[in-house]
Chain A
Amino acid sequence: MISPIHPATAQGRGMLRRTQDADVEAVERGLLSTLLVVSACSGGGDKKAADPNAKVTLSYGVWDANQKPVMESLAAEFTKTHPNITVEVQLTPWADYWTKLKAAATGGAAPDVFWMNGPNFQLYASNKVIGPMPGEADLSVYPKPLTDLYTFEGKPYGLPKDMDTVAVWYNKTLFDAKKLPYPKDDWTWADFQDAAAKLSDPAKGIYGTAAQLGSFQEYQYDTIAQAGGYVISPDGKKSGYSDPKTIAGLKFWTDLIEKKSSPDLKAMTDTTPIQLFEAGKIAMYWGGSWNVSEFSANSYTKGKVDVAPLPRDELQATVIHGVANVVSTKTAHPDQAWEFVRYLGSKDAAEILGQKGPIPAYNGTQTAWVKAHPELKLQTFMDAVNYAVPFPVSKNTAAWNEAELTYLTKAWTGEVPTDRAATDLAQAMDAMLAKE
């Protein structure tokens, strides 16, 4: 079966994986929306921005159907205090979101305010599709790796809306069956590997974990950071894949496959790790905070799973990511648009968001989210913020994201030793970064 794009997970989920999950029709729709954009351009353009009391309607582009209602209630709250501004929430499903937005932005008709993610941010900022935030903003109320993610050339380009961190989801039933103690909060790579080996029973098709390739946010980026390595240098000019520590972070996974503590890549291509986990074939699944709704609703995992922090190596680390609200440089109402973004980044908005959405980015407003599922140790995801590292990005992240898959697949199948695949990848990635 095709790995489904669970609407429930469509929020901050492994940005990488979702960059790759596009719809077949995206091409056609992209072309179609270009045409629509062209026809839309000739329409609008009311230049009454000078009048502060003029009635203004802002368009707000989002991609998660699950979050549309909460976004609409936030828009309604905003209109209460700003009666002249109404906000129209425009939903584009994830599969088409970036294709359509790119076409719309090319035609100068992007929504006034829209959701941005890490891998796409610098592409939009460097091409001046979105602009830096005017005036002052107190960024200290958000986790620093998140505000850093949306900073370009020293200036913030938007305010973080929500966030997600990664932890280990484990199947208590499988642990009980092997009479193994549940993971401790201070466990190490060695503990994890040991547990994975004990939990595996390849003859029965049960494995300790699944060394997924394709969603780097939950797997490779985390272990690379834990080993003390890096994916891309802070100035965005050099790949870190030839660094021995980075390679150690990759070998963590390829060793697990080699030792049969994880299914091989072919099996994980046919049945995705999340499907295996939800079928009780995987004991430990590295997943994000966005999996909460999925695992607490799934009839198999419900009541059988819990959360543990990621195991540590040289460091304790998890990749943090979150969505930000940004403003189009072509908007006819920049003042009103920024006013709305400031509201969305406020404590009031975060409290509404946390009740029925993802983890809000605003520090101290996350209690509601944690309390929503008392049966799960969701505090784990919040504690992870303290040692979180930023999501690695550059101007054209998508280009080297593709190279990561192309080169590392060979290491995952065992066709090429992991260190050689990584150094080859570093070379290819450096060439791409040089062109940015």
Chain B
Amino acid sequence: MTVTMTPRRDSTQNKASAADTGGGRRGRGRLKEALWGYAFIAPTGLGIGIFYLWPVLQTAYFSLTEWGAFGGHTWTGLDNYRRLGSDPEVGRALVNTLTYTGLGLLSIPLAIGFAVLLNRKGMRFVGLYRTLFFLPVVTMPVAIAMVWRWLYNGDYGLINYLLSLVGIDGPNWVADPATALYALVVVGVWSSVGYNLIIFLAGLQAIPKEYYEAAAIDGASPLSQFFHVTLPLLSPTAFFVSVVSVIGSLQLFDLVYVMAGSGAGARANPAFPRLETVVQLFYDRAFVTNDRGYAAAIVMMLLLLIVVLTAVQFRFQKRWVHYA
């Protein structure tokens, strides 16, 4: 029985396994491929996990605790978040940060303008101009801030010297509450135009020439070519730049840290209430006043703000972004 049974079972099994083998081989191949894939992304994944995700989770946890200066913490629940709501300094820092972010978007039209100019055919010294525009991007932010601080100096600065030539008595740009934030925006925009400009140049060069030829045949002027061909086809680039700029501006720290004064001494700057950003406040709470749980809550609030503003931009991209 067993002898006769065996082959039959075998044959059925074979049939089944034959069908399976095909699938199995494909499955195993797929699995193997997937494993290789994971192996390749593992270093990055591990890096993101250890250096980004884990700290985020830890920070979220710490924001619910109160910390001693040398570690050791007690659970306080939502206390830190309740404090956020009633802390006028947090509100002030948020308003400053959002103002800075909004005004910082000015660098987008500027960058588009310069990119179009630099993209013109037959333009001389293009390499030189591109280098000049890109120079602030590769310069250390602290060095930039220090040079600008000197330019802005009320008594000895170059800007006020030039103004004095035409009879204007310039203010103490970064120490005067009326001008300080705008003075900083100028530096921020100036130092980010170069980076955005390079991205827009790449975007411009990806636009097929045929569109311009067709537009020219239809009798479109250069100006209407710009508005009807260039701008719409540049919108995906603009979208990218805007998302990146907003995230960058929300995290502004170094410029303020150096230009407002030195470190926590910046608080002796009368314009400090107009300059303080969320990250600056976070730094003060975490590293100056030893209030780390609260600092964690501040930075979680910033994370939320970044997520929301980025989501809003993605939501509204349908209205103005054209993918060719």
A residues apposed to B, CB below 8 Å = 1-3, 17, 19-22, 24, 26-27, 30, 99, 102, 105-106, 123, 127, 129, 205, 213-214, 265-267, 269-271, 396, 398-399, 401-402, 405-406, 409, 412-413, 415
A20 x B262 contact (CB < 8 A) = yes
Distance to closest chain A CB from B9 (angstroms): 59
Instruction: Answer whether residue B153 sits at the interface, using C-beta atoms and an 8 A cutoff.
Output: yes
Are A102 and B265 within 8 A (Cβ)? no
Max chain B Cβ within 10 angstroms of own Cβ: one of A1, A20, A102: A20
Judge whether A402 and B150 touch: CB under 8 Å.
no
- The answer to whether A399 and B70 touch across the interface, beta carbons within 8 angstroms, is no
CA distance A409 to B267 in the complex (A): 7
User: In the docked arrangement, what's the CA distance between A271 and B174, Å?
Assistant: 11
DSSP class of A's interface residues: helix, strand, loop or mixed?
A: helix
Q: Are A21 and B175 in contact (CB under 8 A)?
A: no
CA gap between A294 and B155 in the complex, in Å? 23
Return the contact of B264 from the options A20, A24, A127 (Cβ within 8 A): A20
- Checking B174, B270, B271 against A412 with a beta-carbon cut-off of 8 angstroms, the contacting residue is B270
* A265 to B172 Cα, complex, angstroms: 10
How large, as a class, is the contact surface on chain B? 35 or more
Question: Please, could you name 19 A-B residue pairs with CB atoms under 8 Å apart, sorted by A?
Answer: A3-B261, A17-B265, A19-B288, A20-B266, A21-B262, A24-B254, A123-B69, A205-B155, A265-B175, A265-B270, A267-B175, A269-B175, A270-B153, A270-B174, A270-B175, A396-B289, A402-B267, A412-B268, A412-B270
Q: In the bound complex, do residue A405 and residue B175 qualify as a contact, i.e. CB atoms below 8 Å apart?
A: no
Q: Provide the bound-state CA to CA distance between A291 and B227, in Å.
A: 63
Best-surrounded residue of A30, A266, A406 (most CB of chain B within 10 A) = A266
Q: Quick one: closest A residue to B55, CB to CB? A: A31
Q: CA–CA, A314 to B175, complex, Å?
A: 35
CA distance A205 to B155 in the complex (A): 9
In the assembled complex, the Cα of A267 lies from the Cα of B271 at a distance in Å of: 12
Whole-angstrom CA separation of A402 from B157 in the bound complex: 29
Of B68, B156, B258, B264, which is in contact with the most chain A CB atoms at under 10 Å from its CB? B264
Knowing A3-B262, A27-B283, A270-B172 are in contact, say whether A409-B270 is a contact too (CB < 8 A). Answer: yes
Q: Taking the complex as formed, is B188 at the interface, i.e. its CB lies under 8 A from any CB of chain A?
A: no
Cβ of A405 and Cβ of B270 under 8 Å apart? no
In the complex, A271→B262 CA distance in Å? 12
B146 and A266 within 8 A (CB) = no
B-side contacts of A2, CB under 8 Å: 146, 149, 258, 262
Other A-B pairs beyond A265-B175, A406-B267, 7, CB < 8 Å: A1-B153, A20-B267, A106-B70, A127-B68, A269-B261, A270-B157, A270-B172
